[in-house]
Amino acid sequence: MLKIDRSAVDSAIETLDTMFTATQEVLADYETEKQVLVKRGEDFSKRVAELQEEHTQLLLDREISKDNTGDYIYLSKQLTSTDEEMKIILSLQEQLKEDFTALKMKYAPIIQATYRKDLSAKNQLPVNEMVEHARYELVKAIYDFASEVRKQQSPLLPAIGEFLDDKEVMEVNRNFERVFEYDQTNLPYSEFNKTVIHRLDIFSACSGNMPTNITKPKGSAE
């Protein structure tokens, strides 16, 4: 009987498909620069593994060649060179950690500002105004219907009053008075729900969660 027009809300939801486009672009730029560092780190790790393998092999070869002074000196120089390169790479790996931090420091304020600007699109839905309007329309609809019931009943009251005022008649027809009690014109309403809309349910919906205690009425159209 009472249906809320969701067309404006549904149209607004469709526009949200591009809500975070700017933020996504900034994150894509960050990801591109990050992958350069990731690749560098992978290359470092690969070279470290190669150097470790070379170092082990050089030690074995030098041990075998310990009786050959020339080979022993040459292999020792190779070991030293390998050790020096390992030290350089380990230093570069430490520097790489700082490069990752610097990259995040560069993009953090950009992402924050862009995200905040994109997020402002959510403000197009006036939640407070919607709740107030829906509550008013609901209560007003019930009031209008109940008022009409009273209005239709009113012309009957003078004649009915003659019966109600007659104690002898009422003594025999005890249920008559009960039928015409004032509250009999009240519309039936279950007090199971203490409030029409609880603020916690609104807060839950505002956070993108449908309150579990609110379900679609039986027979409602999809």
Q: Are residues 83 and 154 in the same domain?
A: no
**213 domain residue, yes or no:** no
pTM beyond 0.85: the answer is no
**174 domain residue, yes or no:** yes
3-state secondary structure 164-178: HCCHHHHHHCHHHHH
Q: Are residues 27 and 87 in the same domain?
A: yes
Q: How many helices and strands (H and E) does the chain possess?
A: 8, 0
Q: Are residues 80 and 147 in the same domain?
A: no
Around 151, how many Cα atoms within 13 Å sit in the side-chain half-sphere?
A: 6
Q: Are residues 25 and 95 in the same domain?
A: yes
Q: Find the mean pLDDT for residues 166-185.
A: 83
Q: Count how many domains the chain has.
A: 2
**2 domain residue, yes or no:** no
What is the chain's length?
222
Inter-CA distances, 136 with 11, 128, 133, 140, Å: 24, 12, 5, 6
The pLDDT tens digits for 130-165 are 888 888 888 888 889 888 888 888 898 899 899 989
Instruction: Work out the widest C-alpha separation in the chain, in whole angstroms.
Output: 138
Q: Are residues 22 and 105 in the same domain?
A: yes
**220 domain residue, yes or no:** no
Candidates 111, 128, 147, 154; CA nearest to 22 is 111
Q: Are residues 24 and 116 in the same domain?
A: yes
Confidence of residue 112 (pLDDT cuts 50, 70, 90): very high
**221 domain residue, yes or no:** no
Domain span at residue 198 reads 126-206
Q: Are residues 78 and 98 in the same domain?
A: yes
Query: What is residue 122's DSSP assignment?
Result: G
pLDDT of residue 220: 57
CA distance 65 to 59: 10
pLDDT of residue 221: 56
Q: Are residues 83 and 102 in the same domain?
A: yes
pLDDT of residue 194: 63
Q: Say whether pLDDT at 199 is over 90.
A: no
The pLDDT tens digits for 36-85 are 999 999 999 999 999 999 999 999 999 999 899 999 999 999 999 999 99
